[in-house]
Amino acid sequence: MAAYDRGERGMMDRAVRTRWFMRAASVVFAFMLWYFVTWDSTGLEKRTYLVPLDYGDVPEGYSISQTVPNVEVELEGRSEAFVFLNIGGIGASVEMSSWKPGKYSLPIQLTPPGGFRVVGYSPNVVEFEVFRTIERTFRPSLVFSDDAPDSLTLASVDVVPPEVTVKGSEEAVMALRRAETRGTVREMTGGTREMAVILTDENGDVSGLDIEPPVVSVTAHFSRALQEARVPVKIEVTGKPPEGQEVGSVVVSPDHVTLRGTREALFGVTEIALNPIDVSGHTEDMNIDIPLEAPSDAVMILGSPHVSVRVELREAVETRTYMGVPVILEGLADPGMWSVSPHSASVTVERAISAAAPFTPEEPPFELYIDATNVVTSQITLPIMTRNAAAGVSVIRIEPSQATITALKK
């Protein structure tokens, strides 16, 4: 039994040693395979890296325009060395002897890590500018890219924080005119918005400067813009008074009212129309107090909510127009030596229907004349007047109302 145990342990030891041997052989084989794949005839290779360019410690109050942030560097070294290469070990820098404002053109200095050779790099020279930096504070304003409706008025704008600090070159910062945020009225009526701060100078928008903070909270407060409009008050008279009478005049007091509302609410409102007044059966003047009604709920009537309406009745009249009534020239020693232009006029007259003498279509119940008494010039324009009008006849209108008389040459 003891001999059997010793034999079995010997077999197990051989098996364990065999497994460890196979594992070690696999590692060696893998390394040899990797070395064979990466190995070339010389044992060297070249690789290219993008290395940050170091401008050194910039003194406080100065800044540089980093036109070249990186340098492309080609290194040569053994293949296995590249596996452990840290890009931070490649040095690319420029050396400043003194920091003064101005433009510089300096060579780039390369420091390769140990075990590597610099094959080449680009660029070899870097051009940049050193300038003084300053800070200015601005209060951002809100600029709308569209027009607000007439019904809205911008009441106030809240910006948080109210000021921003701008840092950059002295020349650029001093040239700034304002800091602003931009949006549409529709956007800003929706509440508070986070908006980018935009800098401008006389040529337009400016970029490349540091803004702190670059974004502000903007709230625009709007109020409804109310307008006023003054419109006439109109009333319609319906019906007819008894025979022999008619409506002489309709007086509304006040005859105009002032309305207040938004532009949209007032659009198209040209008058306030009262309810009609029926004069049927009335023989005397009418005095009525009528309440005013706004054209809509969005419109307010300023002043008294009532108007007084007076309807005056009169005796019914007949109106007639006579055309081509001749104009008589009077007051001159020799009327035949004068011309009248025009020599006739149209006259509109009226009379009460109850008058005894009705109008006749042929004979006008009046005469037209011009009084040229004491005229000493050779040409003058004088008014055309009426005379000898029949009883109850009133002249309403003469067209034209004047005529020119001219002395004829002998």
Q: Residue 279's domain is classified under what CATH number?
A: 2.170.120.40
In-domain check, residue 259: yes
Same domain? For 373 and 386 the reply is yes
Do 341 and 400 share a domain, yes or no? Answer: yes
Domain count within the chain? 4
Last residue of a domain, one of 196, 224, 252: 224
User: What pLDDT is stored for residue 259 in this prediction?
Assistant: 93
Q: Is residue 26 part of a domain?
A: no
329, 287: one domain:
no
Q: Examine residue 18 and state whether it is found in any structural domain, yes or no.
A: no
- Is 15 part of a structural domain of the chain? no
Q: Is residue 39 part of a domain?
A: no
> Looking at the domain assignment, is residue 2 inside a domain?
no
Beta bridge partners of 216: 195
At 146 the three-state DSSP class reads: coil
Flag whether 22 is in a domain: no
Tokens of 191: 């509440």
Verify that 118 and 73 share a domain, yes or no. yes
pLDDT in tens, the chain (410 residues): 444 455 555 555 554 456 666 776 676 666 555 554 454 545 788 989 899 988 888 888 888 876 788 999 998 988 888 888 888 888 888 888 777 888 888 898 888 888 888 888 989 998 888 888 889 999 999 988 877 666 677 778 899 999 999 998 888 888 898 899 998 888 888 889 999 999 999 899 999 899 999 999 999 888 777 888 999 999 999 998 888 888 889 999 999 999 988 878 888 899 999 989 999 888 889 998 888 888 887 888 998 888 999 999 988 888 889 999 999 999 888 888 889 999 999 999 988 877 656 777 778 889 999 999 988 889 999 999 999 888 888 899 999 999 999 988 76
Among the listed residues 313, 315, 321, the one whose alpha carbon sits nearest the alpha carbon of residue 395: 321
Residue 54 counted as domain residue: yes
Residue with tokens 């006579």: 322
The pTM is what? Answer: 0.40
What pLDDT does 100 receive? 80
Q: Does 391 share its domain with 375? A: yes
In the beta sheet, which residues pair with residue 386?
A: 368
Q: Which of 116, 133, 150 is the last residue of a domain?
A: 133
Asked if 231 and 255 touch (Cβ cutoff 8 Å), the reply is no
CATH number at 167 reads 2.170.120
Same domain, residue pair 332 and 392: yes
Supply the DSSP string of 78-129, one letter for each residue: EHHHHHT--GGGSEEE---S---SEEEEEEPEEEPPTT-EEEEEE-SEEEEE
> Are the C-beta atoms of residues 388 and 368 closer than 8 Å to each other?
no
Which of 69, 104, 133 is the C-terminal boundary of a domain? 133
- Both 345 and 281 in one domain: the answer is no
Domain identity same for 122 and 143:
no
Contact criterion met (CB below 8 Å) for 53 and 68: yes
Supply the DSSP symbol for 319.
Answer: E
Instruction: Give the distance from CA 366 to its chain's centroid.
Output: 66
Question: Do 155 and 192 reside in the same domain of the chain?
Answer: yes
- Together in a domain, 217 and 255: no
| Dihedral sign of CA atoms 9, 11, 13, 15 in order | negative
Residue 101 CA, chain-centre distance (Å), reads 43
What is the domain range of residue 373?
Answer: 319-407
Q: Determine how many CB atoms are found less than 10 A away from the CB of residue 309.
A: 19
Same domain, 124 and 50: yes
Q: Note whether 306 and 327 are same-domain residues.
A: no
48-107 pLDDT, tens digit per residue, is 989 998 888 888 888 887 678 899 999 898 888 888 888 888 888 888 877 788 888 889
CATH number of the structural domain spanning residue 125: 2.170.120.30
Per DSSP, 353 falls in state T
Dump pLDDT digits (tens) for 284-309.
899 988 888 888 878 889 988 889 99
Q: What pLDDT score was predicted for residue 20?
A: 64
Query: How far apart (Å, rounded) are the C-alpha atoms in residues 296 and 398?
Result: 45
